[in-house]
């Protein structure tokens, strides 16, 4: 398992995958899985310029599988496998062929414990992932409130605009295409304004 220490490196790996239904898995620490899933969804959406569906494995198993097969999203992120038992992983293994929907693929977010279960009880799915299972050490990349405010201030100084002005310009669809503006909208939780 390859260790990746930044989201940039993960995004590069996702971006260099061939077209088609390619799945990967990342192993993260047990804390903040939901936060990591949401942050990665936002980042991959911007980077890959595609619709992404975030699906919790804590849902009823049948409901989760139905959501996977019915989604119109190009890319799926699955997370929250911590309460899964052996039977769930065996079902996932049997369900693997339904993941192949000619879309861009997806990402499983696992802890070390759920990764061990995947490898033990879902051999076909594990084989399908192949070498695309990564240890991801990125928790420090995600900003706390103080860091978020500092980054927003830096973007304001860089552009000479306020947060509200950036939102107004984005709503008029007149925002420059510089990646800093995309980051700014994500930090303001307004990624809905990013033009695709």
Q: Which pLDDT belongs to residue 104?
A: 66
Each residue's pLDDT tens digit, 116-154: 999 999 998 888 888 888 887 765 555 567 777 888 898
DSSP 8-state code for residue 101:
S
Q: Decide: helix, strand or coil at residue 144.
A: coil
Q: Decide: helix, strand or coil at residue 171.
A: helix
The number of beta carbons lying within 10 Å of the beta carbon of residue 58 is 14
DSSP 8-state code for residue 132:
-
Kindly indicate the confidence band of residue 177, based on its pLDDT and cuts at 50, 70 and 90: confident
CA distance 31 to 164: 33
Which stretches of the chain are assigned E, i.e. beta strand? 2-4, 22-27, 52-56, 75-79, 105-110, 133-136
Question: Shortest CA distance to 99 belongs to which of 131, 76, 122, 130?
Answer: 76
Q: Decide: helix, strand or coil at residue 161.
A: coil
CA distance 144 to 151: 11
Q: What is the mean pLDDT of residues 14-42?
A: 77
Q: Which pLDDT belongs to residue 103?
A: 66
Name the more confident of 76 and 191: 76
DSSP track, 24-46? EEEE--STTHHHHHHHHHHHHHH
Q: Is the pLDDT of residue 53 over 70?
A: yes
């Amino acid at each position: 398992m390859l260790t990746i220490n930044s989201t940039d490196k993960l995004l590069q790996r996702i971006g260099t995958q061939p077209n088609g239904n390619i799945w990967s898995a990342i192993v993260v620490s047990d804390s903040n899985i939901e936060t990591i899933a949401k942050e990665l969804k936002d980042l991959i959406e911007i980077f890959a310029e595609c619709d992404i569906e975030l699906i919790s494995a804590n849902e009823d198993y049948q409901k989760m599988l139905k959501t996977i097969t019915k989604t119109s999203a190009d890319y799926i992120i699955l997370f929250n496998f911590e309460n899964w038992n052996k039977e769930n992983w065996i079902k996932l293994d049997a369900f693997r062929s339904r993941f192949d929907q000619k879309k861009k693929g997806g990402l499983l977010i696992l802890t070390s414990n759920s990764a061990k279960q995947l490898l033990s009880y879902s051999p076909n799915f594990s084989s399908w992932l192949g070498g695309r299972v990564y240890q991801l050490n990125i928790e420090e990349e995600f900003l706390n409130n103080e860091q978020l405010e500092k980054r927003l201030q830096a973007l304001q100084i860089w552009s000479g605009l306020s947060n509200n002005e950036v939102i107004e310009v984005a709503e008029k669809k007149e925002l420059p295409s510089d990646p800093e503006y995309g980051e700014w909208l994500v930090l303001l939780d307004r990624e809905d304004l990013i033009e695709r």
